[in-house]
């Protein structure tokens, strides 16, 4: 097992090699730190716009847990050692987008616990990447990558009004877990802003109640 660990580390750059020790996990360590994904955009609006239901996100690549994903070389993946999201990542992305849509558009977005509320349209989310990507060589930077597909459906006639893939990357300024999670928050803010900018002009196709 120790031999396999050293093999994996030797395939990475010097910084990534360091990460294999204190930061990147090849086991099931208990978390030392719990991290959040915090929306810090415009406040909730009071507009009487359409009601949108934000569905539970589809999580690909084993992203639907509390573990923080790491993208290694080739097709290899692992997780940050001693770090966990505060709740399952899909729940946090959904909660983030409920706040973002309601804060940045005229719509009233609802999420978990709102199935019994009449809504005009549905927002679907597919999280395709939410990864920390250690540098591959000395000339590159550590980054985080967020990639989310958004779909917009009118419920009255089940019409797909639009679907688009959004991605954002952010350079990691420091070398520890706190810097990595700060970069995730920055990348999610950028992707979330792009998603609400795309969604806002389409709300006219979703009649208000």
Q: Which CATH superfamily is domain 2-205 in?
A: ABC-type transport auxiliary lipoprotein component (3.40.50.10610)
Residue 127 pLDDT greater than 50, yes or no:
yes
DSSP 4-34: HHHHHHHTS-HHHHHHHTTTEESS-PPPSEE
* Rounded average pLDDT over 132-143: 87
Share of the chain above pLDDT 90, in %: 67
Residue 19 pLDDT greater than 50, yes or no:
no
Q: Specify the pTM.
A: 0.83
Burial class (CB in 10 A: 0-12, 13-18, 19+), 151: middle
pLDDT in tens, 42-56: 887 777 789 999 999
* Rounded average pLDDT over 12-20: 36
Query: What pLDDT does residue 161 have?
Result: 96
Share of the chain above pLDDT 70, in %: 84
Which residues share a beta bridge with 171? Answer: 143
Interatomic CA distance for residues 125 and 97, integer angstroms: 9
CA dihedral 109, 114, 118, 119 (to 10 degrees): 30
Residue 71 pLDDT greater than 60, yes or no:
yes
Short-list 5, 104, 102, CA closest to 52: 102
Domains of the chain, residue spans? 2-205
Report the greatest alpha carbon distance in the chain. Answer: 63
């Amino acid at each position: 097992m120790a031999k396999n660990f050293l093999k994996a580390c030797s395939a990475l750059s010097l910084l990534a090699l360091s990460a294999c020790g204190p930061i990147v996990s090849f086991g099931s360590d208990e978390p030392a730190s719990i991290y959040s994904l915090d929306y810090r955009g415009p406040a909730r609006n009071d507009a009487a716009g359409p009601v949108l239901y934000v569905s539970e996100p589809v999580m690909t690549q084993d992203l639907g847990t509390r573990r923080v994903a790491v993208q290694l070389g080739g097709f290899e993946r692992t997780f940050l050692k001693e770090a966990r999201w505060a709740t399952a990542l899909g729940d946090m992305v959904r909660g983030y987008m409920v706040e973002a849509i309601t804060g940045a558009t005229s719509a009233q977005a609802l999420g978990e616990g709102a199935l019994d509320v009449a809504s005009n349209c549905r927002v679907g989310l597919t999280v395709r990447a939410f990864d920390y990507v250690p540098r591959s060589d000395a000339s590159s930077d550590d980054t985080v990558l967020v990639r989310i597909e958004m779909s917009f459906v009118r419920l009255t006639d089940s019409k797909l009004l639009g679907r688009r893939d959004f991605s954002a990357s952010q350079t990691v300024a420091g070398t520890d877990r706190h810097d990595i999670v700060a970069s995730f928050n920055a990348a999610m803010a950028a992707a979330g802003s792009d998603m609400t900018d795309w969604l806002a002009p389409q709300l006219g196709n979703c009649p208000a109640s």
